[in-house]
Chains A and B, each alone.
Chain A
Amino acid sequence: MSRNRVKSSQSLHWATVLFWVVLVGMIASLALSYLVLKNRIIRVAEESRKQEVELMRWKDRNAQLQAAIQTLRSPKELERKVSGMGLVKVSELQWIRMDNAPETKLVKGYQLDGREP
């Protein structure tokens, strides 16, 4: 300890020292926080960019699949598959039709719509 301080003529101002220590500490912590946050922003932005690319890839893949599904569902393709399976279209089948078909009765005395005859 210097002689002046011993004499208390140039004593250390602890409050001032503390003030500067706190100030420097705050500035340092702010700077550090800034760096940490900035790094985090960069990381998150990069992550979000990657997700964006991935999303676009999935969208592209979906669009390709949608087009492929529609191609497989197209009447031409279905008809080709049906004929490959040996099936025949309904319109080419024969059917039974009756002229003046009698009215169907569900319950004795009642018609289909529930009305009494």
Chain B
Amino acid sequence: MSLRTRALALTCFLAIGFTVVSLRLVQIQILDGDRYHQEAIHNHFERVEVPPTRGMILDSHGTILAKTHVLYDVRLDGKDLKNPEQTLPLLSKTLEMPLSEIKALYRPEKRFELLKTGLTEETVSALKDLKLKSLIFERKAFRAYPNSGHASHVIGFVDGQNAGVMGIERLMNKELRGVAGERWIERDVRRREIAAYRRKDVRAMDGMNVQLTLDLGIQHVVEESLNRVMEKTKANAAYSIVMRPKTGEILAMANRPTFDPNLREGMDLARLRNRCMTDVMEPGSIFKIVTLSGVLQEGLMSLNTQIFCENGSFYYGGKWLHDDEENGVLSVEDILARSSNIGFCKMGLALGEERLYTYAKQFGFGSSTGMMPGQGESAGILNPLHRWTKVSISRVPMGHEVGVTPIQMISAYSAIANGGRLMEPRLIHQITDNQGRIVKAFPPHVVRQVIQEKTANLVSEALTRVLSSEGTGKKANVPGFNVAGKTGTAQKVINGTYSKEKYLASFIGYLPQENPEFVVLVMVDEPKGHEYHGGQVAAPAFAEMAAQIAQSLNLVPKSAPATKVGAL
């Protein structure tokens, strides 16, 4: 082959070669350019969501009631693990797991085997120091409730996705959850982020903190007292609420049975119910303040008005009504102190159906308080007048034929303690950002003036007589304080008839009577044993709680009885 031919062949070969390469380049760059561009973006760029930290729930003093922190899960890539004979014992030591357990979990073909959950930052650092490429760490937000079961029904809890399921966690989920940020990052061939090429970096906005009106110290007092009540009475359930009458702030709210939001696995769902708001019960004698307020407000009677209590048996509307004692003529004040049903029946008759219904409605019965919307709060039962029977006017004044929730009941007593002003019960004090700046405040709100201040003072004065030596609530006395309150012993309705064995024992009271600082409600559902009256079961629990709450609120005892003498 001549030189010229060889040169021509080489030129042709190079020309064809360059043409092929050029065509391939055209195909890659122009024809399939978009696809390759997308693939390159897909391989190198990634959108990473930056999760926000859920806000805290705090008590009125800023003590943490719920907080989110990060824990890790660690997984093992069996295929990547080199020298398992040497590595597995190291893992066992660091993870504080038996070697046999780790060996059982290890399989060379399994690439994502969960070794342990809930690891702290320290353990993860120790694992990272082992420099094992086969370990995969998963960062997970964990919601902790440091005070275990305290106020669990109020605080609630979150699900696996960190969304509130019940309580404040659910009610304030929007404020607590925060807003996720995002980051567009570029990775190198080893999947490491090239930080300099970060495209978009939107920071996550952490959730806000919700400060409640609850006082953890008072909550603890209430929780411990309810534990003792449950232990002593073997009751089905017990509820207690502490409220500040001047502002409507809920200082404590507790239910039994209860739950620990940190340990929810296999828990009985019935325990989750916030009975203080959902359960409707016939209140019995504690409802009598409505009737008393009505007759005093309308000027129909005074505290000294004498009423004949029919010596303990009264026939009205074709039915007999009985008192526990055979009372003759009693003053209105004594009727309240001795909780005479017949006396209150006569007061109700004097007041009339329409006015009694109006006062009950004004005190907030028959409508929900709206304290925690969407949490199953009941409005209770207050039948409209057209559904009242002939005997209703003799039964409603003493707390029968009506259904109330504990929160409605304490709100009504708070109205008496607050000069007749019904306050909206409040659980949330304010919302703050993570710098402590107030984002939203929830000021006290007066719902309405139910009765005049003068009338409220008269009712309050009469309520102090309940705790006198002749009254039903003498066990509720707190040394050093003038206490006002009322006992209640309601027979439970079982299959349409009043049970003679199942009772709801209750006591609601406040102190100091002259300038009430807090109202306490104690209700015990079906106490067992021979003591089932409100004065025997709930009143002592009230006294125990109130004494400690007064101490916690730094209330100074005014007139301590000299008989209460001891030594430190």
Residue positions of A touching B, CB distance < 8 A: 41-42, 44-46, 48-49, 57, 60-61, 63-64, 66-67, 70-71, 73-76, 79, 90-91, 93-99
- The 16 listed contacts between A and B (C-beta, < 8 Å) are A41-B196, A44-B196, A67-B69, A70-B146, A71-B144, A74-B148, A74-B216, A75-B150, A75-B216, A76-B147, A76-B150, A79-B224, A94-B565, A96-B567, A97-B560, A98-B562
Write the nearest CB–CB distance from A68 to chain B, whole angstroms: 8
Q: Is the CB of A64 within 8 A of B564?
A: no
Which of B60-68, B235-243, B266-274, B278-286 lies at the interface?
A: B60-68
Q: Which residues of A contact B122 (CB under 8 A)?
A: 61
Nearest chain A CB to B254's CB is how many angstroms away? 13
Within 8 A of A (CB), among B524-568: 547-548, 551, 557, 559-562, 564-568
**What distance in Å separates the Cβ of A82 from its nearest Cβ neighbour in chain B?**
12
Contact in complex: B567, A94 (CB < 8 Å): yes
Residue of B53, B125, B564 touching A97 (CB-CB under 8 A): B564
A95 touching B67 by the CB < 8 A rule? Answer: no
Question: B148 contacts A94, CB within 8 Å?
Answer: no
Q: Which of A49, A61, A70, A94 contacts B64 (CB 8 A)?
A: A70
Which B residues between 188 and 204 are near A, CB-CB below 8 angstroms?
193-196, 198
Establish whether residues A64 and B551, one from each chain, have CB atoms under 8 Å apart when the complex forms: no
Whether the Cβ atoms of B565 and A97 lie closer than 8 Å is yes
Pick the contact of A42 from B67, B120, B194 — CB < 8 Å? Answer: B194
User: With A and B bound together, what is the CA distance between A98 and B563 in angstroms?
Assistant: 9
CA distance A97 to B564 in the complex (A): 7
List the A side residues contacting B217 at CB < 8 Å. 75
A79 to B59, CA, bound (A): 19
Across the interface, name the chain B residue whose C-beta is closest to A39.
Answer: B196
A58 vs B196: C-alpha distance when bound (angstroms)? 23
Cross-interface CB contact of B148 among A45, A48, A61, A76, cutoff 8 Å: A76
Asked if B220 is at the interface (CB within 8 A of a chain A CB), the reply is: yes
What is the CA–CA distance of A50 and B144 in the complex, to the nearest angstrom?
28
Q: A95 with B568: in contact, given A70-B64, A74-B147, A75-B147 (CB under 8 Å)?
A: yes
Closest to A47 in B: B195
Contact A60 B150 (CB under 8 A): no
In this complex, what residue of A is CB-closest to B479? A97
Complex CA distance for A60 and B195, rounded to whole angstroms = 22
Q: Does chain A have a CB within 8 A of B89?
A: no
Q: Which residue of B lies closest to A97 (CB)?
A: B560
- Whether A76 and B220, one on each chain, are in contact in the complex, defined by CB atoms closer than 8 angstroms, is yes
A66, closest chain B residue (CB): B67
Q: How far is the CB of B500 from chain A (nearest CB, A)?
A: 37
Whether the Cβ atoms of A70 and B63 lie closer than 8 Å is yes
Q: Which residues of B contact A97 (CB under 8 A)?
A: 479-480, 557, 560-562, 564-565
Cβ 8 A contact of B69, one of A42, A64, A74, A75: A64
Whether B480 and A45, one on each chain, are in contact in the complex, defined by CB atoms closer than 8 angstroms, is no
Is B67 a contact partner of A45 (Cβ separation < 8 A)? Answer: no
Which 6 A-B pairs give the minimum distances between C-beta atoms? A94-B566, A97-B560, A63-B69, A45-B196, A75-B220, A70-B146
On whether the beta carbons of B64 and A64 are closer than 8 Å, the reply is no
Pick the most buried of A67, A79, A90, A91: most chain B CB atoms within 10 A of its CB. Answer: A67
Chain B contacts with A in 463-506, Cβ cutoff 8 A: 479-480
List B contacts of A60 (CB < 8 A).
Answer: 69-70, 121
Which A residues touch B196, using CB under 8 A?
A: 41-42, 44-46
Give Cα A25 to B146, complex, Å. 68
**Residue in B70, B548, B559, B566 whose CB lies within 8 Å of A63:** B70
Contact B566–A66 (Cβ < 8 Å): no
Residue of chain A at shortest CB distance from B219: A75
Known: A90-B551, A91-B551. A46 touches B195 (CB 8 A): yes
Least distance between A8 CB and chain B CB atoms (Å): 43
* Identity of the chain A residue whose Cβ is nearest the Cβ of B63 in the assembled complex: A70
Given contacts A49-B193, A97-B479, 16 further A-B contacts (CB under 8 A): A42-B196, A44-B196, A49-B195, A60-B70, A63-B53, A64-B70, A64-B120, A66-B67, A67-B67, A74-B147, A74-B150, A75-B150, A94-B565, A94-B566, A97-B480, A97-B564
Contacts of A64 in B (CB 8 A): 69-71, 120-121
Q: CB-nearest residue of chain B relative to A94?
A: B566
In the complex, which residue of chain B has the Cβ closest to the Cβ of A49? B195
Complex CA distance for A44 and B147, rounded to whole angstroms: 44
Q: How many Å lie between the Cα of A71 and that of B216 in the bound state?
A: 13
CB closest residue in chain B, given A44: B196
Residues of A within 8 Å of B198, CB to CB, are 45
A67 CA to B121 CA in the complex, in Å? 14
What residues of B have a CB within 8 angstroms of the CB of A74 in the complex?
A: 146-148, 150, 216
Question: Which residues of chain A are within 8 angstroms of B194 by Cβ–Cβ distance?
Answer: 42, 45
Least Cβ distance of B444 to chain A in Å?
27
* Given known A-B contacts A67-B64, A94-B566, A99 and B561 have beta carbons under 8 A apart: yes
Q: Select from chain B the residue with minimum beta-carbon distance to A50.
A: B195
The answer on a CB contact under 8 Å between B146 and A61 is no
The CA-CA distance from A93 to B551 in the complex, in Å, is: 13
Assess whether B146 is in contact with A91, with CB atoms less than 8 Å apart.
no
Q: Is the Cβ of B562 less than 8 Å from the Cβ of A99?
A: yes
> In this complex, what residue of A is CB-closest to B148?
A76
Closest to A65 in B: B69
B residues near A48, Cβ cutoff 8 Å: 195
Cβ–Cβ < 8 Å partners of B69 in chain A: 60, 63-64, 66-67
